[in-house]
Structures are given as C-alpha cells and as structure tokens.
C-alpha cells in the first residue's frame, strides 16, 4: 500500500468515497520517484503500470483516466472511451471510479448532499478561467446549494507567481477576483488559486467548500510540482460512489 494517502476531510455522505495520492509509496525512479500515476510525462511505462496496479488494490474498480488538455469539457465517466480528452468528469452510476491528475493544478472534488452524483475537475489557471468548474457543476444538473466541494493539493498562494495577463483573464470574468492577487515588486502577481476556485463555486451557489493548507511547490517530500521541477510525476485525485 502507498505510504501516504490523503483522505478528504469534507462532509460528504457516507456513500461518497475519495482519496488523493502523494508521491510516496511507488516504484518509479527519479525524477518521478516514486508513486507517479501519469503515463504521459516520460516515466518508464512499466513503472507507471505497476503504480496503477498498486492503486487498483485500494479501489472497487479500475479507475477511468482522462486525457487532460487544460480545457473545460466535463464528461460522464461511466460512458467514455479510453483516452477521452476532458478535464472533468462526473457520474451518477455507483462503482465507477475516476481520477484527475495534477502536479500544481487544483483538483476539485464535488458531490451532492444526497450522494446521488460525484464529480472531479482538473483546474489549472487556464481551465479555471475558461470555466471548467462551471461546466462540471452544469453537468451535475443540480442547484449549487445542494453541492459540496473539496479543494485538493495545489500550488499555494505564496508560490504561484503569474503575469498580468492571468490576472486580467480572471478580472474580466469577475472583478472580485482581484482579491486573489497580490502585487509583487517585479511587476508580477502572487495568485491564490484556492480563492479563485472558491469565488467560482460561490457564484454558482456552492457554499459548502472545504480544503486543507496545501502547497505542492513547497512540500517537496509529499507532492510533485511541475513548476518546481519541470520533469516530474503526477498525483491522482479519485472519487466514486457506492
């Protein structure tokens, strides 16, 4: 079993299950050491396959993997073909496990209070600005006030330096997004992706939003970080309902 797993601390109903992997407990060699689950980052395919087999022992079914493209498409995990291009998924079908892969981008897990539908979104800044959260909530076909969200491990607000074009993209959608940016002496901005996601969720009526104090860049032992390392692995955030 992987040495370190994160179980979301959120008020989901008992039939909703979720977990997030860290970089510990697998067989991949540096720079992917050790529990890399991505097959598109240059790691040894045999190591990735072994890590995925290890992950499978923790799950009720083989997980559905998306081909993530930093977009906004949300698909039904119960009915997609292998290699489907999407950055979010949902399902109402019990026993269907699906995942989003991240290494600085924000994984957003969602369910409804009754446990009838679950969803996961890969929210990097491009997808977040483009509306991946909005498309995911729309696919769930329930009012936001009935939904619960958990924000997983991502780049922290002290580590995410961006240019003015990123800030402009969010402010064009919602002037309140200014609260997620802090000016730096070099003309750039520190960006709080957790705050940006929270604003998007709240605008959709989702008020029950939880997260922990993560920073994938600074926590070198626990998390992969593309910004920190460039060549690196990916963690998986998985969700399903029983």
Is the predicted pLDDT of residue 74 greater than 80, yes or no?
Answer: yes
Residues contacting residue 235 through CB under 8 Å, at least 6 positions apart: 20, 21, 22, 23, 35, 37, 101, 102, 103, 153, 223, 224
Render pLDDT for 19-67 as a digit per residue (tens, 0 to 9). 999 999 999 999 999 999 999 999 999 999 999 999 999 999 999 999 9
Query: Residue 1: pLDDT band by 50, 70, 90 thresholds?
Result: low
Q: How many angstroms separate the Cα of 15 from the Cα of each of 114, 115, 135, 208, 215?
A: 9, 6, 24, 18, 29
Tens digit of each residue's pLDDT (9 = 90 or more) over 160-200? 999 999 999 999 999 999 999 999 999 999 999 999 999 99
Report how far apart, in Å, the C-alpha atoms of 118 and of each of 77, 114, 195, 225 are.
10, 10, 22, 26
CA dist 5 and 232 (Å) reads 18
Helices in the chain by DSSP H: which ranges? 45-56, 125-130, 132-140, 164-173, 193-203, 226-229
Measured in degrees and rounded to the nearest 5, phi and psi for residue 170 equal -80, -40
Q: Under a CB-based contact definition with an 8 Å cutoff, are residues 37 and 70 in contact?
A: no
Q: pLDDT value at position 81?
A: 86
Q: What is the pLDDT of residue 212?
A: 81
Say yes or no to pLDDT of 83 above 90: no
168/184 Cα distance (integer angstroms):
15
Q: Is the pLDDT of residue 2 over 80?
A: no
Count CB-CB contacts under 10 A for residue 185.
5
Mean per-residue pLDDT for 98-127? 98
With cut-offs at 50, 70 and 90, classify the pLDDT of residue 87: very high
CA-to-CA separations, 193 to 6, 86, 96, 123, 237, in angstroms, rounded: 20, 20, 28, 9, 17
SS (H, E, C) 122-135: EECHHHHHHCHHHH
Q: What is the pLDDT of residue 221?
A: 94
Tens digit of pLDDT for each residue in 21-30?
999 999 999 9
Task: Give me the pLDDT at residue 50, please.
Answer: 97
Q: Is the per-residue pLDDT at 82 higher than 90?
A: no
Q: How many whole angstroms separate alpha carbon 153 and alpha carbon 214?
A: 5
| Domains of the chain from N-terminus onward | 5-154+205-241 (3.60.140.10)
- Other CB atoms within 10 A of residue 97 CB: 23
Q: What is the pLDDT of residues 116-148, one digit of tens each?
A: 999 999 999 999 999 999 999 999 999 999 999
The residue-averaged pLDDT of 72-94 equals 95
- Could you tell me the pTM of the whole model? 0.96
């Amino acid at each position: 079993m992987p040495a370190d797993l994160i179980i979301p601390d959120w008020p989901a109903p008992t039939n909703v299950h979720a977990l997030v992997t860290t970089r510990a407990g697998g067989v991949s060699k540096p720079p992917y050491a050790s529990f890399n689950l991505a097959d598109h980052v240059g790691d040894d395919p045999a190591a990735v396959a072994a890590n995925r087999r290890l992950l499978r022992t923790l799950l009720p079914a083989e997980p559905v993997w998306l081909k993530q493209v930093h977009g906004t498409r949300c698909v039904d995990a119960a009915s997609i073909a292998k290699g489907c291009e999407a950055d979010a998924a949902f399902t109402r079908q019990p026993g269907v496990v699906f995942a989003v892969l991240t290494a600085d981008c924000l994984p957003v897990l969602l369910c409804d209070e009754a446990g009838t539908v679950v969803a996961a979104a890969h929210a990097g800044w491009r997808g977040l600005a483009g509306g991946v959260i909005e498309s995911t909530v729309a696919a769930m076909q329930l009012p936001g006030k009935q939904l619960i969200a958990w924000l997983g491990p991502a780049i922290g607000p002290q580590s995410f330096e961006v240019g003015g074009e990123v800030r402009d993209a969010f402010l064009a959608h919602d002037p309140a997004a200014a609260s997620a940016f802090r000016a730096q002496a070099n003309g750039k901005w520190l960006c709080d992706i957790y705050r940006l996601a929270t604003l998007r969720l709240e605008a959709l009526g989702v008020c029950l939003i939880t997260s922990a104090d993560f920073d994938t860049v600074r926590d070198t032992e626990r998390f992969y970080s593309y910004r920190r390392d460039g060549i690196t692995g990916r963690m998986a955030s998985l969700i399903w309902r029983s």
